[in-house]
Amino acid sequence: MTTTEPATDKSGPVVETDASNSNKAIALKDKANEYFKNQDYLKAILLYSEAIELDGTQAALYSNRSIAHLRLENFGYALSDATKAIECDPNYVKGYYRRAVSYMALGKYKEAVKDFEHILKISQAGKETRLRLNECKKLLRKQAFEKAISVDYDKSVAASIDPDHMQVEPNYDGPHIVNGKVDLEFVVSLIKTFKKGKKLDKKYAYMIILQVAELFRKCDSLVDVKIPDESKFTVCGDIHGQYFDLLNIFELNGLPSSTNPYLFNGDFVDRGSFSVECILTLFAFKALYPNHFFMSRGNHESQTMNQMYGFEGEVKSKYSSTMYDLFTETFNLLPLAHCLNKRVLVMHGGLFSSDTVTLDDIRKVDRYRQPPDEGIMCELLWSDPMAKHGRAPSKRGVGIQFGPDVTHHFCEFNNLDYIIRSHEVKNNGYDLAHDGKMITVFSAPNYCDAIGNLGAYITMTGKTLIPDFHTYSEVPHPDVKPMAYASSFFGLRA
């Protein structure tokens, strides 16, 4: 394969079947391909599924639905569809490629290597596939190396960086940190600098990251937040590199301060192409108001997601590999959840495969690592609610889906009023499920410049903790497309 190949197939091997159904399936596929090109992946998936109902013998249908699921991060479904494409045609190259990318998204590099190697055996794929295979092997070696070494502070990236001895670029005209301390004047100037499309000098970027790393290092994996009775508190969901929409939240709801505290609930980066500006602004507010500005880790604060969805490429383009490594290390320090006045739990993903998880279990999780593919940490970052009772395998391939009975039991077991999570796009920017005990908030409007959803944030007072929902539309931003820094290696650019 080459990087110039279309993301979806217009044709593919067709086994003899009912001619009428086969023709209808082809027509549906063509229509679905148009929705895919317009980034309406949900509609594309529905049409691919209709086509498969009519004719389940076409490998291209499963392959196309697979990449649509990949775009939506439904890695479990993407893997299943790629495998079905291969079952339809054991020599179908794109099936193996889609499956390899799905395996990589799930951190299963050994399986991905096998599929890339098989592509070379059955096709004339050549140079491009070999490059992908070598990159995958490199990631596999890196993964093995990271498991083998100690992660103590003396061997950390942070310990090797000394911004005090860095020189500011001579032509730099942005804000300066004076006496090593982030102040409000600096943060306001930083926002103006980023709005103009300018960069923060690397010296100050390193200073901010190192300062917040030390703050996060002192936190438990679950942070208890005390909100005074009459004080307002704001919870925001996914931002995903949509910097100008982040600034709109501050325009609508006020800048963070000691009297206007915020909690941002993960997925600050990736997808949107202003992720560096988002994370540095949020980190600057954390450094300025350490006891009134809170951040939870999302599933996109991880190496695998950052490699696929653009943050790694963006940091390396705007700064350096060393700074990306420092971000990666700092993301490992982010708390996994927050508990508001001992009554409301806030995490990025969702609940657990066990009925006996307590808040103290979350508090004690060893989070200083890349997210595992099972257990409490994984489920906090990846799980999703569903309408039916019980538990089910996740469409994402990691975490679980859980029903209202699971939510009610967890809240009762841990004396909670309700739960706030993020992780999923919602048309209105928020959603109430499980009799109001499972609230989703998503703060990136018109996600990826394509979905058309509203964004939302939640405010409440400490005494009642009754959620008040605020919605808003997207605002204009510079003409830089989402995923602009994503690697073409994964085939996930829009």
The identity of residue 258, as a single letter, is S
The count of C-alpha atoms lying within 13 angstroms of the C-alpha of 291, restricted to the half-sphere facing its C-beta, is: 4
In a domain, 290, yes or no: yes
**Cα separation, 381 vs 361, whole angstroms:** 15
Please count the structural domains in the chain: 2
**Cα separation, 484 vs 271, whole angstroms:** 8
**Average pLDDT over every residue of 379-388:** 98
φ/ψ of 491, rounded to 5, equals: 65, 30
- Both 224 and 366 in one domain: the answer is yes
Lowest mean pLDDT among 14-23, 89-98, 401-410: 14-23
**Cα separation, 48 vs 53, whole angstroms:** 9
- Both 194 and 293 in one domain: the answer is yes
First vs last C-alpha separation in the chain: 18
In a domain, 14, yes or no: no
Confidence of residue 153 (pLDDT cuts 50, 70, 90): very low
Confidence of residue 144 (pLDDT cuts 50, 70, 90): confident
The identity of residue 91, as a single letter, is N
- Both 400 and 429 in one domain: the answer is yes
Could you identify the residue written with the tokens 């086509």? 51
Of 95, 119, 148, the one marking the end of a domain is 148
In a domain, 408, yes or no: yes
φ/ψ of 452, rounded to 5, equals: 85, 10
- Give the pLDDT confidence score for residue 14 in this predicted structure: 47
Q: How far is CA 132 from CA 141, 142, 172, 271, in A?
A: 14, 15, 38, 21
* CATH number, domain with residue 276: 3.60.21.10
- Give the pLDDT confidence score for residue 126 in this predicted structure: 74
- Both 139 and 174 in one domain: the answer is no
Lowest mean pLDDT among 76-80, 305-309, 335-339, 439-443: 305-309
- Both 399 and 296 in one domain: the answer is yes
Structural contact between residues 58 and 25, judged by C-beta atoms closer than 8 angstroms: yes
With 80 as the cut, is the pLDDT of residue 295 above it?
A: yes
Residues in the chain: 494
Closest alpha carbon to 270 in 327, 326, 225, 217: 327
Q: Which domain holds residue 451?
A: 158-490
| Residue 421 DSSP one-character state | E
- Both 320 and 293 in one domain: the answer is yes
- Both 265 and 308 in one domain: the answer is yes
- Give the pLDDT confidence score for residue 20 in this predicted structure: 86
User: How much is the mean pLDDT over the chain?
Assistant: 92
- Both 279 and 355 in one domain: the answer is yes
Of 148, 169, 202, the one marking the end of a domain is 148
* CATH number, domain with residue 130: 1.25.40.10
In a domain, 61, yes or no: yes
Phi-psi label, residue 310: left if phi above 0, alpha if psi -120 to 50, beta otherwise: left
In a domain, 447, yes or no: yes
- The residues assigned a catalytic role are 300
In a domain, 261, yes or no: yes
In a domain, 10, yes or no: no
Could you identify the residue written with the tokens 């063509």? 30
- Both 374 and 255 in one domain: the answer is yes
Structural contact between residues 137 and 125, judged by C-beta atoms closer than 8 angstroms: no
- Give the pLDDT confidence score for residue 313 in this predicted structure: 95
- Both 138 and 240 in one domain: the answer is no
| Residue 271 DSSP one-character state | S
Q: What are 374's two structure tokens?
A: 């099972």
Of 89, 124, 148, the one marking the end of a domain is 148
Partners of residue 402 on adjacent β-strands:
385, 391
- Both 56 and 130 in one domain: the answer is yes
- Both 140 and 189 in one domain: the answer is no
